[in-house]
Structure 1
Amino acid sequence: MNNTSDNNNENTPISKKRCRANKLECYDWLSDLPESHSETEMVEVQFKNTRKGYYKNSTHIHLEKGDMVAVEGNPGHDIGEVTLTGRLVLLQMKKNGVKLDNPDLKRVYRKAKPNDLEKYEEAKSREHDTMLRARKIAEDLNLDMKIGDVEYQGDGNKAIFYYIADDRVDFRQLIKVLAEAFRVRIEMKQIGARQEAGRIGGIGPCGRQLCCSSWMTNFVSVATSAARYQDISLNPQKLAGQCAKLKCCLNFEVDAYVEGQKKLPSREVALETKDNTYYHFKTDIFKRQMTYSTSKEIAANLVTVDASRVFEVIALNKKGIKPDKLEVLDDQEPVKKDFEDVVGQDSLTRFDKSKKRSGNNGGNGQNRRRKKPGFKRNNGNEASGATTGQETASSQNGVRGNNNRNGNNNNGKNNSNNRTGSTPE
């Protein structure tokens, strides 16, 4: 059974063979075109976390998504997973600003052998201990930095140390100590707090996985103005995420709030009425309702009106007219529409009513049929009136003949009675 499944996996089309799901995975919408996978020698290879690279398959090895390959490193070789092949790689290179004629493009050596994968797993197992030890060394050297992650190259000859620092750090002495301690080539990479949170991962206050660790790849700066546009309380503890920076989700809906605010009157304009002067207090952008207060400092005599009423009062104030009250008067209050179902004014049971009516009409129709003059009853049997004139005439003649016979019989009976009952006087 195992051999059969392995053979099926080898013969599986490229469109059905998928690599592990991650936030940097690109959907290959050209997978159903086999000819597109042989148009270029470039392949996309992904390493630990968010590190990706584009390599040249100069030896024309048959590669598919999900294959583990050994690629050229600096120095030695690295182990990564093929995440994209064919024409779509060229589009991704153009998107990421990687030029095809770049002389620094590295190449693919071979598919990873079992020995290569063993060294790769051994190097990965040392990453956590190396990170803890490197933090201790940086602390002993009094460096204002935090080492967030360590990544070993596939052959174990090089290690990349990712660190966070607010200011510029002179880590030349640190590199020397780390090289002596781990006997590998050291490379330092500075990352931001958002990138560190994305590499570590976690659960946000919304109960879902962090956006930076699940799908976000580009981090845009978040300002406090995004919270002001959405009328969110400027509480640093609630606005900050696990990276101690403003939450990225503050930028998700700010554009909708900005567009909605453009359709509302200015908040700086005070509304004049005969009884008082009202100042803006708060706004519900999507309901288009604005709340005004009679005091600038505190919430006093709050009145909530629709944005159309605010426009109307502003127009009256420009003409020098002050309305009696800010809110809409009772006689001017618009009529609210009742709830309407999805079918509009028609009732969902309108067809049932029509059936009932048709049933009643059917009963009346039967009564009408009984009263029609074309139907005759004779000893409980109905005879249709749709007969020809000859048949009716013959039937009438037959009735007359019967009557004559009955008359003759009666006359005979009378005669016999006369004969028997008459006596000579």
Structure 2
Amino acid sequence: MACGTCSTGKDGQPKGCKNNGTCGTDSCNKHTVFDWLANMSLPNGEKPFNWVEVRFKNGRKDYYKNTENLTLAIGDVVATQAQSGHDVGMVTLTGELVRVQMKRKKISEDTEDFMKIYRKASQKDIDIWSSARDKEEPMKVKARQLAIDLKLQMKISDIEFQGDASKATFYYTAEERVDFRELIKLFAREFRTRIEMKQVGFRQEAARLGGIGSCGRELCCSTWLTDFRSVSTSAARYQQLSLNPQKLAGQCGKLKCCLNYELDSYLDALREIPKPEIKLYTKKGTAVCQKTDIFKGHLWYAYEGEWMNWHKITKDQANEIIALNKKKEKIASLEEYAQDLIEDTKTEFENVVGQDSLTRFDSPKGNTKRKNNRRNKRRKKPQNKKNNAK
């Protein structure tokens, strides 16, 4: 859900809150969770859950304990504990839903090794944080050039400063192990700050950077998908998709996660459909499967030697023939079961516009001549009256 200011402005242009992802409702950010318990009050004597969810750059989230009993709401900028110094982030979730999210991510709330929230961020904290964020993009360009000069087989995808600007984390991807000890020395000498290198997978890189998929929507990994399940080419085979790497691969270079979305439906439908390698034995000859329509339950078979003539039968008919073949019985031919392949492909379009002709806005040529003649007659009539008056 978007905030109220994310409406359309003048001339169809998007209005937006112009807060660059830091609006108070936190509804324009990555992996946003809608707090559907916000309007519900706790039972008498029940204390609110003292953990909060804090979001940092590019959807990175952590859970912190509110040991100071601060009154926090979604959208508050807070200073949180870090390994050294402090970090600055935004509160994205409070209350009982934080308990649910922690349980889902297997984070114990009774652990003694927890991170806590120091305070609500002051204006000085926010100024230091925003100035450090402004340095990240030019630093990334320079860091990539230094990695190229050292001929390292790695790609620096993102840089994230800590809230107090005391440390910069460099996220990179690489196919193999990379010795970047010399690179860290160059970074420390060039950027004058503590450096931390963090390797991420290609899917995690796409989730951090975001983008638009081939479906025209934002990437699932950058909006709502958090668990990355393995995707294999067998998922494409079950769905009868062409094994084209350019079409099956996403922006991360790996197989698209959406190949798993409908896989279960295809597997359920395939249970009742005979395998394509099973041949049908008839008195006329042996038939081989050529094509399968999974959801309609149709199969096309062709006799060996007559590959151009296909016979369409249903899955129930195919299973019936296979059952007879197991009893060493043969049917006369597939023509007894086959359905007509000629289907009515004529599409009837409804008149939703209210006009039948596509040329309804074109003016006929004959009418234009008549109109011109009428105009010429009108122009001549006043002249004749003047002559008669003389």
* TM above 0.5: yes
**1:154 aligned residue:** 163
Matching of residue 32 in structure 1 with residue 39 in structure 2: yes
**Is residue 38–residue 86 contact of structure 1 (8 Å, CA) maintained in 2?**
no
Pairwise CA distance, 1:266: 2.8
Deviations 1:35-59 (CA, angstroms, capped at 9, x unpaired): 3794332211111112111112222
Q: 1:60 is matched with which residue: 69, 80, 83?
A: 69
Q: Does 1:322 align with 2:330?
A: yes
* Equivalent residue number for residue 235 of structure 1: 244
Change in CA separation of 1:18 and 1:275 when aligned onto 2, cut-off 3 Å: same
Shift in Å at residue 62 of structure 1?
A: 0.8
Aligned to 1:6: none
Change beyond 3 A, Cα 1:82–1:39: same
Q: In the alignment, what sits opposite 1:275?
A: 284
Corresponding residue to 1:123 among 124, 129, 132: 132
Residue 99 of structure 2 is aligned to residue 72 of structure 1: no
1:170 to partner: Cα distance:
1.7
How many Å separate the matches in 1 of 2:312 and 2:181?
64
- Superposed counterparts of 1:14-413, under 5 Å: 18-35=25-42, 38-295=47-304, 299-328=307-336
CA distance in 1, matches of 2:300, 2:249: 29
- Quote the sequence identity (%): 50
The equivalent of 2:361 in structure 1 is none
Deviations 1:51-74 (A, max 9, x none): 111112222111111111111123
| Mapped partners of 1:294, 1:248: distance in 2 | 39
Q: Structure 1 91/275 Cα, relative in aligned 2: closer, same or farther at 3 Å?
A: same
* CA RMSD across the alignment: 2.2
Structure 1 residues 173 and 295: alpha-carbon distance in aligned structure 2, compared to 1, 3 A threshold: farther
Report the 3-state secondary structure (helix = DSSP H, G, I; strand = E; otherwise coil) of the residue aligned with 2:268: helix
Q: Distance in 2 between matches of 1:62 and 1:318?
A: 74
The question of whether the paired residues in 2 share the 8 Å contact of 1:20 and 1:66 is answered with no
Per-residue Cα deviation, 1:210-238 (whole angstroms, up to 9, x for no partner): 22222211111110001100111111121
Q: 1:299 Cα shift?
A: 4.4
Check whether the contact 1:162–1:189 (CA below 8 A) recurs between aligned residues.
Answer: yes
Count of residues in correspondence between the two structures: 315
Residue 34 of structure 2 aligns with an amino acid whose one-letter code is Y
CA contact (8 A) 1:72 1:109 kept: yes
Distance 1:329 1:53, change over 3 A: closer
In structure 2, what is the Cα distance between the partners aligned to 1:295 and 1:140? Answer: 62
What CA distance in whole angstroms lies between the structure 2 residues aligned with 1:140 and 1:329?
70
The one-letter code sitting in structure 2 at the alignment partner of 1:31 is A
Change (3 A) 1:255 1:120: same
Paired with 1:165 and 1:329, the residues of 2 have a C-alpha distance of 57
**CA displacement, residues 282-312 of structure 1 (integer Å, 9 cap, x when unaligned):** 211100001112249x943222111111122
* Cα offset, 1:329, TM superposition: 5.5
Contact 1:23 1:217 in 2 (8 A): no
Bigger Cα Rg: 1
Distance 1:184 1:125 in 2: 15
Moved more, 133-142 or 299-308: 299-308
Q: What amino acid maps onto 1:71 in structure 2? A: T
Return closer, same or farther for 1:236/1:295 CA change in 2, 3 Å cut-off. Answer: farther
Rate the CA distance shift 1:57–1:323 in 2: closer, same or farther, 3 A: same
Distance 1:199 1:233 in 2: 29
Paired residue type of 2:54: V
TM-score, reference length from structure 2: 0.76
Q: Distance in 2 between matches of 1:299 and 1:198?
A: 47
Q: Which blocks of at least 5 consecutive residues in structure 2 are unaligned?
A: 1-23, 341-390
Per-residue CA deviations over 1:358-395 (Å, capped at 9, x if unaligned) read xxxxxxxxxxxxxxxxxxxxxxxxxxxxxxxxxxxxxx
Tell me, yes or no, if the aligned pair for 2:51 and 2:65 is still in contact at 8 Å: yes
Task: Say whether the 8 Å CA contact 2:30–2:58 is kept in structure 1.
Answer: no
Partner SS, residue 335 of structure 2: coil
Q: Which AA in structure 2 matches 1:57?
A: N
Q: Give the distance between the partners of 1:314 and 1:100, measured in 2 at CA.
A: 58
Moved runs in structure 1, 4+ residues, more than 6 A? none
Task: Report the residue type matching 2:119 in the other structure.
Answer: R
Q: Is the 8 A contact 1:309 1:328 kept in 2?
A: no
Distance 2:239 2:27 in 1: 38
